[in-house]
Amino acid sequence: MTQISGNLRRRQLWDKVMLGLLVLGSLVVVAPLVLVLSKVFLTGFSALNLAFFTQDFQPVEAGGGGLRHAIVGTILMNLLALLIGGTLGLAGGILLSEYPDHPVNPTLRVISDLLNGLPALLKGLVIYTLVVIPTGSFSGYAGALALGLVMVPIVLRATEGVLKLVPWNVREAGLGLGLPRWRVILSLVLPAASSGVITGLMLGFARAAGEAAPLYFTAGGSQYLNFNLSQQTESLALTIYKYANEPSPLRVEQAWAAALVLTLLVLIASLLARWVARVRP
């Protein structure tokens, strides 16, 4: 504590300098967000048109078409992935928080962190060997499975975190009323933490929506619109990766438009989560 007895003037000056540095640091963090978003919005918006939403892949000579197939594919695969990843992640979060003494817990926690650090690519690679090769074709289901794996650790972490914030006496009150434990968890604890759980689900959704690498070997990509996930399926992230380097400027514009739509999808998802969090405190 020797520093405290220094020259007061100098210490107050330091105080101001450090505040300045902190503000500068915060600006450095926010700046790339602004840069990326503004680039995506400006470039993407000028490339958006009606055909983008109403048409599928078309040759450049025929106008290039749109990305309806990719938008539909992204939404379908991500919803199914949300179902898979959400269920697994919720179960994991519930086990960690509601059965804190369970012998599986330490392993589960490490495994979940490991899954979080594992490149999504490797998850796709395993789905390729386990699902794509045995079924004999790429499919939206395989893509959704890979994306589901991307979501699991994110949802799990978020669920565990918010469930733990629910005061223990909520559970005691429920149990005191004679409710079985599973009812207490499902109808008291989860609803009390619903906003946080939903935020976690949305974060997982956003992260998975942006994954292109695992879809390469699972969903396979497609030029066609289909609502049947047993077929090869396109996604926006995959399109961006494929079109970003295309020679035709039209395709590059479409990549930016796809980036904009994907960003909007993610933004809407996270705003929705925020809104739900505020409506149901």
The residue to which tokens 């999808």 are assigned: 265
Q: Please, what is the angle between helix 8-47 and helix 249-279, to 10°?
A: 120
Nearer to other proteins, 14 or 53 (CB): 14
SS3 at position 14:
helix
Cα dihedral across residues 98, 123, 143, 242: positive or negative: positive
Candidate list 47, 66, 71, 92; residue touching other proteins; CB under 8 A = 92
Q: By CB under 8 A, how many residues form the interface with other proteins?
A: 131
Q: According to the binding rule CB under 8 A, does residue 279 interact with other proteins?
A: no
Q: According to the binding rule CB under 8 A, does residue 192 interact with other proteins?
A: no
Q: Judge whether 98 and 185 are in contact, CB under 8 Å.
A: yes
Instruction: Please name which of 208, 198, 112 lies closest in space to residue 163, comparing C-alpha atoms.
Output: 198
Site for other proteins in 239-278 (CB under 8 A): 240-242, 244-248, 255-256, 259, 262-263, 266-267, 270, 274
CB of 17 to other proteins, least distance (A): 8
Q: According to the binding rule CB under 8 A, does residue 48 interact with other proteins?
A: no
SS3 at position 233:
strand
Site for other proteins in 161-190 (CB under 8 A): 161, 164, 167-168, 172, 175, 180-183, 185-186
Candidate list 55, 78, 82, 141; residue touching other proteins; CB under 8 A = 141
Nearer to other proteins, 195 or 263 (CB): 263
Q: According to the binding rule CB under 8 A, does residue 2 interact with other proteins?
A: no
The pair of structure tokens assigned to 162 is: 């918010």
Candidate list 42, 53, 119, 264; residue touching other proteins; CB under 8 A = 119
Q: According to the binding rule CB under 8 A, does residue 84 interact with other proteins?
A: yes
Candidate list 76, 78, 143, 160; residue touching other proteins; CB under 8 A = 160
The pair of structure tokens assigned to 21 is: 């540095």
Measure Cα distances from 267 to 27, 138, 235, 240 in Å.
Answer: 21, 29, 17, 18
**Alpha helices in the chain, H assignment, sequence order:** 8-47, 50-54, 68-98, 105-117, 120-127, 133-135, 140-165, 168-176, 181-183, 190-192, 194-209, 213-216, 236-243, 249-279
Tell me the backbone φ, ψ of residue 78, rounded to 5 degrees: -70, -35
Q: According to the binding rule CB under 8 A, does residue 23 interact with other proteins?
A: yes
CB of 276 to other proteins, least distance (A): 14
Q: According to the binding rule CB under 8 A, does residue 51 interact with other proteins?
A: no
Q: According to the binding rule CB under 8 A, does residue 113 interact with other proteins?
A: yes
Q: According to the binding rule CB under 8 A, does residue 118 interact with other proteins?
A: yes
Nearer to other proteins, 54 or 135 (CB): 135
